[in-house]
Structure 1
């Protein structure tokens, strides 16, 4: 125990007691590495191979130069007398060297992946009729018909295994690369099946995840059915549609979306209402879905008094089952990782360390999949998680003394998400969802029962259809409430306000968000130990 320090002269004597316990210092030491990895990933997938190699060499030389310079400064700071703190030099040296190491590693890993993507015969076959054999790796997205009365089209992803040409000199070549397929919506193969199809190949520009797009109007031949675990997951997804069929209109459309991310039944007017009210994220597989599943798993494991390691194993198992159910596409894996970081921040009592976990998770994802750096969904997911760990948790702590923690968290999460994600959303649509925060607050109580009971209904439907029907109707009532909130908010006066387009609009909204955070979280004032400082 150390003696307490008296208040600073001139300060009111109750300042110390009003400020609460010492504020935890938020660990931001890995954020320079996050920025370096992100920049390296963007460069490596968009620049030509020679340019990427030269940039990687420059980064490596900078690493050696900065490392040597900082080591010299560290030795000099230790040898010379003065007020300088060698430990401060150590911290900055470590952060700078680590950022350069991460950038070099990200570029090296990304260069190998880009080279593998471009190594096939795609440039030579651009515009030709080809036959592809590959594994389905992406869910279908319905596209509007190209002209009135035309058959409905769908777009889905596959990873090729074999490429065959069908011209005068047919050839067959093994080639593994992601390809986008656009074809009839009535002939979409199941996820993870091996298929054979024929069409015309169109090359995609550098920077896209898919190396080419196959335009086809022929039938898709399923060569090998999905593995058993995927067939089980597909059965649950089909059960969600069967259980949703007798529900009212909005509930019928939203139940598969809220539970397994299947938005094929959401019509255009409901989609517009969800967008105008800021509730679109509820029907997409996002980190919030995985956070909810992980949270409930942690609570259930705690009620069963399971040891800490067993709880961690159960949470990982539940998350893996959720990934399998909604299909392990890159966006789903990203959402699962972000959801785990969010759960750590909100449930495990380590908000000060959560930014470091977020930065490490993002770096790992970018090393494994550098194309994520250019996807708006990934940007929004990272920003939303950062909002939870940096803004929502301190707001929850600050407001919980007056509102109680459950209500404070319900209000803090949409406020944080709107503040940090708003500048990116206006890049897509230069408008501002006026009622997004109150709409999210009103819809929040329905999200958990809609998701959990809806998933439970789909799982038990093959064994106990009456129980599944009851669960589906309760989940459907929650989905109806979400749709009603969306429609009322979207129909209110001024639901969407036009915003400044381009960089100016992004800058103004970002600066406004910083001002809001500054007003809501005054520096040096915390309630109950919220985070007020940083560790650099």
Structure 2
């Protein structure tokens, strides 16, 4: 069976045009939209009688790319024409918090992602911005909360990643909280706060600072030295709530519901609810959005009694994310998540088979295949982002693989149970016991990160021509594995069986309707 690439072209085209739209002037983007529309129409008229379906395919790709570029251009136009640029002076603005604060390296300033709702009490079209303020001025914030503050506004820098921001705001006083966050966001904030407090009681200091990051992506108390060790060891994805965390937690819930005898329809509804709740809880980061959309597609396909093939699901997820969040086209985390999933879909199964044929035990072969498949495509991106190459990433990820799922599952259960009832109630007690149960796993994770990532040679700089050599070698490996995969003839047998999780059909059950 061949590889199903039907949505590969549309996804790549959307990604490319949105990235270009973020990097060029607005007028150029509209010219690009017009050119795509004319090209698609011309090809359709010229080849509409063709029996190969080329006309429909190419015209569809052009139309979808034009739509994605149009959405991005409209978002940029709204940001550039925001009234906050015309108001001048030092306006009083009403802001809605849209994310967690990012504390600077000196711990004296913080950047808070916000949405501007009113300027000098005049309601405007909501636009995204960033608020710079001293950490001493920073109130306890939760996404959805409303603040009022006098600011100094200036246009964002000319970086492509900031094209959808209307302004960079500097607080001239202490923000005043004027509106509470929605109840679901307050619930998420309570879960995160109680998990951090419970972990501090149940674990040693370094492990306690790491635990909320592993479970919910909350790295506010993470030790700086440990953070650097994780980066050098290639384990940073574990504290960023990657798509793997999403798949482990949501997939476990969906599987439990299904095994309990729930119907396909009820399983899909509960699965979608769990996915939405998990996204709210961990915040919609780059990889979480990709995994959530991909998992949602898989569940909806299960409702229709169809198999959601992994590659088409990934392509649909990329298109959906870029249409709603165009800034993801230039987000390194999104690129890493997509290419890691692509590597798993294409190469995990043939690598596993090749290892098993050479006498490697099945369990070890699965771990090795998944680690290698994910790193084949992510290594060039990691080098481009950090100018460093982790020499210990593969062994580090293999060593911690057995404990990651245990920490994720027990930690998520502890987070939810700890938020039930009063702070010192039965739920908090059960949560503390669950966290204490992860003590050996946390010790092992810290040992691997310190033992491998703490070495000076663990992540050397890879600048200039050395990066080119690494990229060339990575490309050669990818080509060789692709050829082996084509000869093996798997491809489309890989499907999505859980939220955002590609898996090999030889391992997954084949019951009809299984999500």
How far apart in 1 are the matches of 2:245 and 2:148?
Answer: 34
Residues 329-340 of structure 1 aligned to structure 2 (within 5 Å): 332-338=288-294
Query: Which residue matches 2:64?
Result: 102
After TM superposition, list the pairs within 5 Å mapping 1:58-207 onto structure 2.
Answer: 58-71=35-48, 74=50, 86=51, 89-90=52-53, 92-125=54-87, 128-145=89-106, 152-164=108-120, 172-186=122-136, 187-188=138-139, 189-205=141-157, 207=160
**Ranges in structure 1 where 5+ consecutive residues have no aligned partner:** 1-23, 75-85, 146-150, 165-170
Cα offset for 1:48?
Answer: 2.6
C-alpha deviations, 1:173-214, integer Å up to 9, x for none?
524100111112242422211111122112114531322111
Q: Deviations over 1:85-128 (max 9, x none)?
A: x4xx32x43332221111111122222222222231243346x4
Checking the alignment, whether the CA contact within 8 Å between 1:342 and 1:385 is kept in structure 2 is: no
Change (3 A) 1:398 1:93: farther
Q: Identify the residue that residue 279 of structure 1 maps to in structure 2.
A: 235
Distance in 2 separating the partners of 1:499 and 1:43: 27
Q: Does 1:238 align with 2:193?
A: yes
In structure 2, distance between residues paired with 1:331 and 1:204: 25
Q: Offset at 1:508?
A: 3.2
Aligned to 2:491: 531
Q: Which residue of 1 aligns with 2:251?
A: 295
8 Å Cα contact 1:420/1:510 also seen in 2:
no
Deviation at residue 301 of structure 1 after TM alignment: 2.5
Distance change >3 Å, CA 533–CA 254, structure 1 → 2 = closer
Alignment check: 8 A CA contact 2:367 2:398 kept: yes
Indicate how the Cα distance of structure 1 residues 141 and 405 shifts in structure 2: closer, same or farther if over 3 A, else same: farther
Pick the aligned partner of 2:415 from 454, 458, 483.
458
1:421 and 2:378 are equivalent in the alignment: yes
Match of 1:385 in 2: 341
1:404 is displaced (CA, Å) by 5.5
1:258-311 per-position Cα deviation (integer Å, ceiling 9, x unaligned): 111101111221111000000000000221111111221232123213333332
* Aligned partners of 1:288 and 1:339 also within 8 Å: no
- 2:385 maps to 1:408: no
SS at match of 1:190: coil
Match of 1:435 in 2: 392
Separation in 1 of the partners of 2:17 and 2:307? Answer: 28
Look up the match of 2:321.
Answer: 365
5 Å-filtered alignment, 1:336-355, equals: 336-338=292-294, 353-355=309-311
* Distance in 2 of aligned mates of 1:372 and 1:279: 22
Assess, with a 3 A threshold, how the Cα gap between structure 1 residues 340 and 324 changes in structure 2: closer, same or farther. same
Query: In the comparison of the two structures, how many residue pairs are matched?
Result: 478
Specify the alignment match of 1:45 in structure 2. 22
- Mean Cα displacement is larger for which, 223-232 or 186-195? 186-195
Structure 2 CA distance for aligned equivalents of residues 331 and 157 of structure 1: 18
Cα distance change on mapping 1:229 and 1:467 into 2, 3 Å = same
Query: Helix, strand or coil for the counterpart of 2:31?
Result: helix
SS in 2 for 1:211: strand
Deviation per CA, 1:197-250: give whole Å up to 9, x if none: 122112114531322111225212111111222211111111111111131132
Deviation for aligned residue 1:423? 0.6
Query: Is the CA contact 1:141–1:155 (under 8 Å) kept in the aligned structure 2?
Result: yes
Distance in 2 between residues matched to 1:330 and 1:520, nearest whole Å: 27
- 1:480 offset after TM fit, Å? 2.9
1:220 is aligned to 175
Q: Distance in 2 between matches of 1:330 and 1:431?
A: 22
- Report deviation, 1:253: 1.3
Q: State the distance in 1 between where 2:440 and 2:153 align.
A: 46
Unpaired stretches in structure 2, ≥5 consecutive residues: 495-515
1:250 maps to: 206
Output the CA distance in 1 between the equivalents of 2:476 and 2:29.
38
SS at match of 1:433: coil
Check if 1:57 corresponds to 2:34.
yes
TM-score, normalised via structure 1 length? 0.82
TM-score by length of 2: 0.85
Query: Following the alignment from structure 1 to structure 2, what is the Cα–Cα distance between the partners of residues 204 and 495?
Result: 37
* CA distance in 1: counterparts of 2:343 and 2:298, whole angstroms: 9
Secondary structure at the residue paired with 1:132?
A: strand
Deviations 1:344-369 (CA, angstroms, capped at 9, x unpaired): 99xxxx99931111111111111112
Change over 3 Å in CA distance of 1:525–1:194 after alignment to 2: closer
The 8 Å contact of residues 136 and 158 in structure 1, kept in 2 or not, is answered as yes
The question of whether the paired residues in 2 share the 8 Å contact of 1:397 and 1:530 is answered with no
Moved more, 479-488 or 132-141: 479-488
Q: Structure 2 vs 1, CA of residues 229 and 344 (structure 1 numbering), >3 Å: closer, same or farther?
A: closer
State the alpha-carbon separation in 2 of the partners of residues 223 and 526 from structure 1: 63
1:217/1:289 Cα in 2 relative to 1: closer, same or farther (>3 Å)? farther
* Aligned partner of residue 365 in structure 1, secondary structure: helix
Aligned to 2:350: 394
Corresponding position: 1:447 with 2:404: yes
CA contact (8 A) 2:417 2:430 kept: yes
